Chain A
């Protein structure tokens, strides 16, 4: 029993005439990064807002924020992907739904994937932001208001700058999660990196070369993100203040 290794396969012409297989993977990488980065912006903006609101003294806002987080955390990502792609256009007003269904191929799966990953990750970011703010000593908030800051000012100048420094490490792993989770978008037809590796395997029959290449690319992304974030952490560090923290969370 022998597997025929053929590492030259990456330079063989791909059947769709767009170039060699290597470019399939690179274009897949491009879609992975584009999806992840756009979704991350949504996740960060929404997650920071909702996480902050969950620490305010307004009980009904806190409850609403908690419901949001529970909703997005307790439905599998794949199911959420199907809801955005298959179900949402049917439930929207007809004109809008039809417009969604008639989008040209890469965009028809790209936008639902971005929204899905963005909202899914925003719930996880919100949880980290809440934990970060609540890990600060209560005196910080009190000292802020004692100095005459309003509640928004206390958040803006005292609480959030400290909380975000504390949760940088868990946010880094959430960012890595969003890159890995973007692979789920292949189920709605987005040709990102994992999807490209799979179709390369289907056309060339070189299973292990294709998956090895994708694996190596994912590892490289991880290493780059880790190094960049380590640098960022050093850059924003306030000497003499707090190191790591955040919510102890199981996850991917």
Chain B
């Protein structure tokens, strides 16, 4: 089965695959995670607010993002970001946004909806007495959130947040649909140039498998270590 296998093509392309491809994938994952968690936490706080003016738009946003395929969202933002950018700075033409920033914005906005649901569960997992105690101490909303509720919510939800990030890491491969060179994109370029699809795609699968499996194993260990016995 592996008789006609050309391992040399993999070896030859390693620098391109990792220096360009994997660097892009990891940078995009890290930035979208940071942005997504911040925006997602804000969305979660809005959703839990008692003001309809705050919770209705947040609920709409989260449900909208969660009912649409990521591929379609990538297309949306790919065309929408230049228009919105042009509109913000008042340009005559849609502005040029690089592939990198376009995908950072896309993944931040998309993953925020998923992080928001996780953070909402996290905030709700904090005992009500904690909020009451904060208020009794004279803390205002932002202080109660910042010092009491959110630190506990993050701790409770850390394993789920990290698992979502592993999914995000896998999802970034979908930037393929707008021809960006991430890890899979790099593998695909070589595969098509050298007509070595079998070798390159199998290699990409193995690399993703090793990274994702290792990360989820680490998350599992972390989960056991930080579990609070209630």
Contact = CB atoms under 8 A, between A and B. Distances in A.
Contact of B201 (A73, A82, A201, A218): A82
Interface in A227-252: 248-252
A74 B209 contact: yes
A194 B93 CA distance: 27
B67 A218 contact: yes
A104 interface: no
B176 A194 contact: no
A230 to B, nearest CB: 15
B70 A252 contact: yes
A78 B171 CA distance: 8
B72, B164, B170, B204 — most chain A CB neighbours (10 Å): B72
A77 B1 contact: no
A197 B72 contact: yes
A250 B118 CA distance: 8
A222 B67 contact: yes
Contacts of A90: 197-198
A173 B164 CA distance: 16
A83 B204 CA distance: 10
A204 interface: no
A159 B215 CA distance: 33
Interface in B44-75: 64, 67-72, 75
15 contacts: A73-B212, A76-B174, A78-B176, A78-B184, A83-B205, A91-B198, A176-B67, A180-B70, A197-B75, A198-B75, A207-B79, A211-B72, A211-B76, A215-B64, A215-B68
4 tightest Cβ-Cβ pairs between the two chains A and B = A183-B69, A74-B212, A250-B164, A222-B67
